[in-house]
């Protein structure tokens, strides 16, 4: 693991920067001298001259298109790293799940990531470089009840990322998907301590147990000359 080796003067897009991982990553990249474009449903609490925030509904295709168009203009059509962090999760048994929540989960977790990566990758193709990072979840292998819609959106995202990697490799664009285990965020705040312990016991490690490790791994992978089919980075089950 390469720790605390910073990048500087890079152009970075991060979704879901109002709290949690997205918020912390944005702050870390800004602190080391990068330009960051972020979005969330709410106004930003990040006050920095190199940060541009957009209040955005990722369920709306036209909102995404306008945002990326503005980023293209602001960045002179150059983006180095895109981190697709935004996610929606409500734990419900499928027969109690509302249609609204099902559509929202798939739209935010999967469709928005596909649409954004499609548009950002075009900018990266023009410059023959770049990296896109997706976040999946250990929920896809744990398969707990109440997570059917969320887990389905994440396993679909993993499949998408793996195929996208094959499509963009010739343009020197790196694709990675981090299958996060337990990390204390807004999405995991409702988990009981007994549930967290039970979850962690199922894995041999928890490699992304804080945002510093997520940040360091992004930098490590960006700096390395990597050309691999194995783009999924995850903890192993016991």
Mean pLDDT of 138-165: 95
Query: Does residue 38 register a pLDDT over 70?
Result: yes
Total residues found in the chain within this entry: 238
Measured between its terminal Cα atoms, the distance across the chain in Å is 22
Query: Does residue 229 register a pLDDT over 80?
Result: no
Written as one string, the DSSP assignment of 87-113 is -------GGG--HHHHHHHHIIIIIHH
Provide the pLDDT for residue 47. 94
Average pLDDT of the chain to the nearest whole number: 91
Query: Does residue 192 register a pLDDT over 90?
Result: no
For the structural domain made of 11-234, what CATH number should be given?
Answer: 3.40.50.720
Written as one string, the DSSP assignment of 74-86 is HTTT--SEEEE--
């Amino acid at each position: 693991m390469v720790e605390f080796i910073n990048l500087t003067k890079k152009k970075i897009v991060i979704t879901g920067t109002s709290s949690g991982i997205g918020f912390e990553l944005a702050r870390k990249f800004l602190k080391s001298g990068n330009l960051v474009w972020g979005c969330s449903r709410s106004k930003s609490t990040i006050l920095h001259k190199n940060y541009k925030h957009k209040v955005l509904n990722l369920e709306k295709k036209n909102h995404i298109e306008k945002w990326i168009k503005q980023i293209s203009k602001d960045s002179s059509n150059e983006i180095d790293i895109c981190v697709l962090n935004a996610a929606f999760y409500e734990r419900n048994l499928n027969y109690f799940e509302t249609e609204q929540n099902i559509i929202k989960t798939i739209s935010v977790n999967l469709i928005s990531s596909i649409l954004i990566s499609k548009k950002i990758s075009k900018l990266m193709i023009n410059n023959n470089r770049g990296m896109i990072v997706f976040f999946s979840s250990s929920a896809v292998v744990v398969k707990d009840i109440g997570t059917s819609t969320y887990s389905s959106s994440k396993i679909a995202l993993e499949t998408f990322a793996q195929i996208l990697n094959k499509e963009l490799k010739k343009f020197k664009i790196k694709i990675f998907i981090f299958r996060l285990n337990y990390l204390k965020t807004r999405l995991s705040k409702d988990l009981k301590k007994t549930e967290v312990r039970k979850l962690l016991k199922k894995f041999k490690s928890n490699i992304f147990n804080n945002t510093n490790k997520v940040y360091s791994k992004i930098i490590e992978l960006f700096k390395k000359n990597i050309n691999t089919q194995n783009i999924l980075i995850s903890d192993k089950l016991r």
